[in-house]
Chain A
């Protein structure tokens, strides 16, 4: 029981940290605004020319068992009060400003009272529905951003272009310790010089007038339109006189946070709960609720909290609790594609700390791609999804996840589960079985691999065992590294995100990523990135990923083609292979309206309302 509790904590941790990725890319989850030019994205076929028979899309089939929107379509009542459950085994950190926060739980708290100035559509591309509108010049490098006149801070002061510029200046400041000064912001012209103290201001940012800002970027890439603009302002009239180093711990961030969102913070019990009241002055219009209460709910208490009506919605529902709760009479389970994929990867090289890039130099039988291909064929992602995730996950065909509808294509071929073909492939490649019936390497020596797996949840261990058995079934000897699962930090320390070298004994690793708003995977598979845990160095991949970010790639078909080619290359080379896609599941009390998981929904957070005074109870 003790260890059980401990695992739950780990799961939560995992969630926090993986979710942080999403939070980094685009913070407008859930309420993203949709436009109609996206509907065409579901189909394709012209690319690969095989339009004979529409194969069943497993993901779509699973998703179709759920709805995006609550069935309740009543009118919200006046003066409603909603309780939002933030599922987390730990208190939220309380850095309540988009410019400084780092944890995903804080983002959940923030989303109720602050929002991005730019809104995104169902494909995570900026549209014109946000508090500011945008346009770019022909070069695609110069963006003119115009803040709407009616957008005010909670204290009544208007949001100005200077506030927006100020946010850039703070994040780019050398004393800034938050995590936001990332590749995206470094793309602003002159910000590096400003960061190093060589310039007094950022040359690429110009305030045209009170409401208009012009930002010049170093490179024009399609990523700019998918979360590539820093879209949160920082009120200069409040933070203007503060030292940058003191900002994130100031009362204006922790105790009396300010934003532009539909609700204002009323009280905060640090780490536990927040109450909000309606922001009558909200620029989109009057929010539907009078009050919102956010409280932290431990993972082990979620199902109780939703069945008793203690909370109306939660931000995240643990999939393993779903089967026991799906019949609750007072809530409805909604679902959408999770921006997520899990994967298994092969360690092919190491990280060169001096040069800052991967070196594919490992002396291992895994260098033979036939072996990697066979091992990918040996794993049955659908069985894993059914056995361990109650059918809410399924075999992934690609690293481009279904949440990115413009690019994901269910017809792309990945590795179907086919152990016989895997064995045939190995035999064809010249592998022979040794005395113990396992394949030996090409020189006839015994061959076995260390598989490092992450602890987390009750399924982690049987899952790792099953994967090992699946490899055993094709005659490849894989052992659980040191016969144990590794706790989150330890795992990534060994796999390759530590401050020292990767663990040289790790051959195979399994992990998962939450994907951000931009589909670009070069942050995970590029040559110069630490997160290329496989340490895979491939020029063609570099070229394709670069092409997909070039100016040419503003043409959607071009970009899609590039990703298709890259996908084919990944299937051929298999430095890593995708394992599962999944669904995000949200239980919603039946009195809630105006809420939607539909990426194309035109509902915003201020639309969320309730149709009854009290929550329904099971």
Chain B
């Protein structure tokens, strides 16, 4: 068990190093830099060249990469060229929003998907089951960004039940109850959009897991022993079916990361995803590389988490 975990974690290290090189080189290969877009006839070429030189943008990429890694090891992600603030602080501001969004979405996903999956699995081939699987097929087929736009239009604009942009209403006192409620309200629609599309995988896993388990011999045994139907489902079937779901938690997180990029863009929610698209446009390298690295690490760690849980749940994986 520990051997597997440690081995699995060791693989992560070269993965992250490779990722960082790739990220850095690719970012530098993008045409233009943060100054290309500054089309100001008043700015003198001399001072622009000076800035390029001062910030080391004229150095060869491996040298820049070296500097970046050295700074990185000190926890310094550099300075954002457009935002004029340390990247760590900038990302910190946005990360908070994204974490709340993701966290709330994950909770919603499990709150919605577990009951649906159970119902669907327990009463398989009933009308209810057909409705639920119908929904999951629809969910699989609907791109998140379309769905989010429709949700925004219907509930944000048409009914006006939810705010349509931002993370908090202007002018709130941070820390007050009003502030927290306002943030919650801004969070609701984006995370519901994410969750309604995000649940489909889990519902289907759970459904097929339950149907699978239902036909196992030990269930027949349990029934034969006279266990009540609810006991059979709650104690025997559910417990066995939920394990793989728990193991997929890590992958779920990875999925959410890509999902938040779209959702934040559509809802004008200032999180990391929105920042990510923006800094790519502006060629703010230091932020781009830091964000990709962060996303990459999150993905790597997410899968690591899943693999480890899976190995705990299913000992067969450990033996290799």
The answer to whether A103 has its CB under 8 Å from any CB of chain B is yes
Q: If the complex has contacts A1-B145, A2-B145, A249-B85, are A488 and B38 also in contact, measured as CB distance less than 8 A?
A: no
User: Separation in Å of the B252 CB from the closest CB of chain A?
Assistant: 23
Q: If the complex has contacts A2-B143, A9-B281, A91-B270, are A498 and B44 also in contact, measured as CB distance less than 8 A?
A: no
How distant is the Cα of A273 from the Cα of B270 in the complex, in angstroms?
A: 11
How distant is the Cα of A528 from the Cα of B45 in the complex, in angstroms?
A: 9
How distant is the Cα of A100 from the Cα of B83 in the complex, in angstroms?
A: 11
User: Separation in Å of the B53 CB from the closest CB of chain A?
Assistant: 10
The answer to whether B172 has its CB under 8 Å from any CB of chain A is yes
Chain A 268-280 per-residue mask, 1 if CB under 8 angstroms from chain B, else 0:
0111111100000
Contact B270–A271 (Cβ < 8 Å): yes
Contact of A529 among B30, B45, B166, B172 (CB under 8 A): B45
Contact B170–A493 (Cβ < 8 Å): no
How distant is the Cα of A421 from the Cα of B146 in the complex, in angstroms?
A: 50
The answer to whether A546 has its CB under 8 Å from any CB of chain B is no
Interface-side segment among A178-186, A409-417, A463-471 = A178-186
User: Separation in Å of the B260 CB from the closest CB of chain A?
Assistant: 15
Contact B44–A183 (Cβ < 8 Å): yes
Chain A 87-118 per-residue mask, 1 if CB under 8 angstroms from chain B, else 0:
00111011100001011000000000000000
Interface-side segment among B7-15, B106-114, B157-165, B292-300 = B157-165
Chain A residues near B30: list those with CB within 8 A: 489
The majority secondary structure among interface residues of chain B is loop
How distant is the Cα of A294 from the Cα of B145 in the complex, in angstroms?
A: 27
In the complex, the number of residue pairs spanning A and B with C-beta atoms less than 8 Å apart equals: 170
Chain B 289-310 per-residue mask, 1 if CB under 8 angstroms from chain A, else 0:
0000000000000000000000
Within 8 A of B (CB), among A1-49: 1-2, 5, 9-10, 13, 17-18, 20-21, 24-25
Chain B 54-89 per-residue mask, 1 if CB under 8 angstroms from chain A, else 0:
100110000000000000000000010011111000
Contact A296–B165 (Cβ < 8 Å): yes
How distant is the Cα of A324 from the Cα of B231 in the complex, in angstroms?
A: 61
Contact A275–B170 (Cβ < 8 Å): yes
The answer to whether A122 has its CB under 8 Å from any CB of chain B is no
Contact A523–B42 (Cβ < 8 Å): yes
Within 8 A of A (CB), among B140-177: 143, 145-146, 149, 157, 160, 164-173
How distant is the Cα of A323 from the Cα of B180 in the complex, in angstroms?
A: 39
Contact B170–A497 (Cβ < 8 Å): no
Contact of B165 among A181, A298, A516 (CB under 8 A): A298
The answer to whether B315 has its CB under 8 Å from any CB of chain A is no
How distant is the Cα of A248 from the Cα of B85 in the complex, in angstroms?
A: 8
The answer to whether B266 has its CB under 8 Å from any CB of chain A is yes
Contact of B57 among A2, A178, A499, A528 (CB under 8 A): A499
Chain A residues near B115: list those with CB within 8 A: none
The answer to whether A301 has its CB under 8 Å from any CB of chain B is yes
Contact A523–B58 (Cβ < 8 Å): no
The answer to whether B226 has its CB under 8 Å from any CB of chain A is no
How distant is the Cα of A160 from the Cα of B270 in the complex, in angstroms?
A: 38
Chain B residues near A267: list those with CB within 8 A: 170-173
Interface centre among A184, A186, A270, by most chain B C-beta atoms within 10 angstroms, is: A270
Chain A 175-194 per-residue mask, 1 if CB under 8 angstroms from chain B, else 0:
00111011110100000000
User: Separation in Å of the A181 CB from the closest CB of chain B?
Assistant: 6
How distant is the Cα of A523 from the Cα of B282 in the complex, in angstroms?
A: 23
Contact of B36 among A13, A25, A270, A492 (CB under 8 A): A492
Chain B residue nearest in CB terms to A522: B41
Contact B42–A248 (Cβ < 8 Å): no
Q: If the complex has contacts A9-B277, A266-B171, A273-B166, are A17 and B160 also in contact, measured as CB distance less than 8 A?
A: no
Contact of A181 among B47, B79, B277, B283 (CB under 8 A): B47
Chain A residue nearest in CB terms to B172: A267
Chain B residues near A273: list those with CB within 8 A: 166, 169-171
Contact B283–A489 (Cβ < 8 Å): yes
Contact A272–B170 (Cβ < 8 Å): yes
Q: If the complex has contacts A90-B278, A266-B171, A499-B58, are A493 and B266 also in contact, measured as CB distance less than 8 A?
A: no
The answer to whether B206 has its CB under 8 Å from any CB of chain A is no
How distant is the Cα of A301 from the Cα of B37 in the complex, in angstroms?
A: 26
The answer to whether B40 has its CB under 8 Å from any CB of chain A is yes
The answer to whether B93 has its CB under 8 Å from any CB of chain A is yes
How distant is the Cα of A523 from the Cα of B42 in the complex, in angstroms?
A: 7
Chain A residues near B171: list those with CB within 8 A: 266-267, 273, 275, 293
Chain B residue nearest in CB terms to A248: B84
Chain B residues near A308: list those with CB within 8 A: 157, 160
Chain A residues near B35: list those with CB within 8 A: 499
The answer to whether B26 has its CB under 8 Å from any CB of chain A is no
Contact B32–A490 (Cβ < 8 Å): yes
How distant is the Cα of A516 from the Cα of B188 in the complex, in angstroms?
A: 43
How distant is the Cα of A516 from the Cα of B41 in the complex, in angstroms?
A: 9
Q: If the complex has contacts A269-B170, A295-B166, A304-B164, are A489 and B37 also in contact, measured as CB distance less than 8 A?
A: yes
Chain B residues near A18: list those with CB within 8 A: 39
How distant is the Cα of A186 from the Cα of B43 in the complex, in angstroms?
A: 10
Q: If the complex has contacts A267-B171, A499-B57, A531-B39, are A301 and B268 also in contact, measured as CB distance less than 8 A?
A: yes
User: Separation in Å of the B61 CB from the closest CB of chain A?
Assistant: 13
How distant is the Cα of A458 from the Cα of B191 in the complex, in angstroms?
A: 29
The answer to whether A390 has its CB under 8 Å from any CB of chain B is no
Chain B 14-53 per-residue mask, 1 if CB under 8 angstroms from chain A, else 0:
0000000000000000111101111111111101000110
How distant is the Cα of A24 from the Cα of B54 in the complex, in angstroms?
A: 23
Return 21 A-B CB contacts under 8 Å, by A number.
A5-B145, A17-B37, A24-B40, A93-B82, A95-B83, A102-B38, A103-B82, A177-B54, A177-B84, A248-B84, A249-B86, A254-B85, A269-B166, A269-B172, A297-B268, A301-B268, A305-B164, A489-B32, A492-B32, A499-B36, A529-B45
Interface residues of A (CB under 8 A from B): 1-2, 5, 9-10, 13, 17-18, 20-21, 24-25, 89-91, 93-95, 100, 102-103, 177-179, 181-184, 186, 248-249, 254, 266-267, 269-275, 293-298, 301, 304-305, 308, 310, 356, 487-490, 492-494, 497-499, 513, 516, 523-524, 528-531
Interface residues of B (CB under 8 A from A): 30-33, 35-45, 47, 51-52, 54, 57-58, 79, 82-86, 93, 143, 145-146, 149, 157, 160, 164-173, 265-266, 268, 270, 274-275, 277-278, 281-283
Known: A177-B54, A177-B84, A271-B93. 12 other contacts (CB 8 A): A1-B145, A2-B145, A9-B281, A89-B265, A183-B44, A249-B86, A269-B172, A273-B171, A293-B171, A295-B166, A492-B32, A499-B35
